[in-house]
Amino acid sequence: MERVLVIGPCGAGKSTLSVELGRRLGLPVHHLDQLHWEPGWVEGSTDELIEKVAAITVSERWLIDGNYGSTMAERIGRADSIVYLDYPIRLCLWRLLKRIWTYRGRTRPDMTEGCPERFDLGFCFYVLAWDSGPRIRTEARLADFKGRLVRFENPRALQRWLDTLPEGHLAPRPN
């Protein structure tokens, strides 16, 4: 695992996992939210994000967390491993609301400084619509890359896999 993607619904825990996995594997971690958002919740351009991601993916070692469909093909094409947190949306929504409450008014560690956590009803609706839109597009993009995919349907399964990872060694695939 030298070039790793961590994807899944918002609120699944991608950023938290990315930090831990990056530490265990000694990989530099890149959060797409930090690459895309500017202070004050100003959205960066898609072209800028594509350029930033391309600059990362040309290197030999990286871990990138986030979905961002505009850069998915580039990242999948270069990744040797894709970790997919395929969690139930009710769990993701609960975790999202917990995150909003925990970081309310402050910037969370995986976000651009100057973007304080806040409640956004439209974003909650986006999470609720994951199964009928973003999931379908994500699954279609992953169809040809099943050999690189490690999918977890619940946090317990992920933790069992993480517990098998020795520090600084290659991660085994779950059975």
CB atoms closer than 10 angstroms to residue 79 = 23
Residue 165 in any domain: the answer is: no
Question: DSSP string of the chain?
Answer: --EEEEE-STTS-HHHHHHHHHHHHTPPEEEHHHHHEETTTEEPPHHHHHHHHHHHHTSS-EEEE---HHHHHHHHHH-SEEEEE---HHHHHHHHHHHHHHHBTS--TTS-TT--B---HHHHHHHHTGGGTHHHHHHHHHGGGGGGEEEESSHHHHHHHHHT--TTSPPPPP-
**Position 48, amino acid:** E
- For residue 79, pLDDT over 60 is answered with yes
Dump pLDDT digits (tens) for 39-62: 999 999 999 999 999 999 999 999
What is the extent of the structural domain holding 106? 3-156
Residue 26 in any domain: the answer is: yes
- For residue 175, pLDDT over 50 is answered with no
Residue 70 in any domain: the answer is: yes
pLDDT value at residue 125: 94
pLDDT value at residue 172: 46
Residue 136 in any domain: the answer is: yes
CATH number at residue 112: 3.40.50.300
Query: Which pLDDT band, with edges at 50, 70 and 90, does 173 fall under?
Result: very low
Residue 21 in any domain: the answer is: yes
Query: Which pLDDT band, with edges at 50, 70 and 90, does 100 fall under?
Result: very high
Number of domains in the chain: 1
Instruction: Using a pLDDT cut of 90, give the percent of the chain over it.
Output: 92
Residue 168 in any domain: the answer is: no
Mean pLDDT of the chain: 93
Instruction: Using a pLDDT cut of 70, give the percent of the chain over it.
Output: 95
Residue 7 in any domain: the answer is: yes
pLDDT value at residue 166: 73
pTM: 0.91
Dump pLDDT digits (tens) for 108-159: 999 999 999 999 999 999 999 999 999 999 999 999 998 999 999 999 999 9
Residue 166 in any domain: the answer is: no
- For residue 168, pLDDT over 70 is answered with no
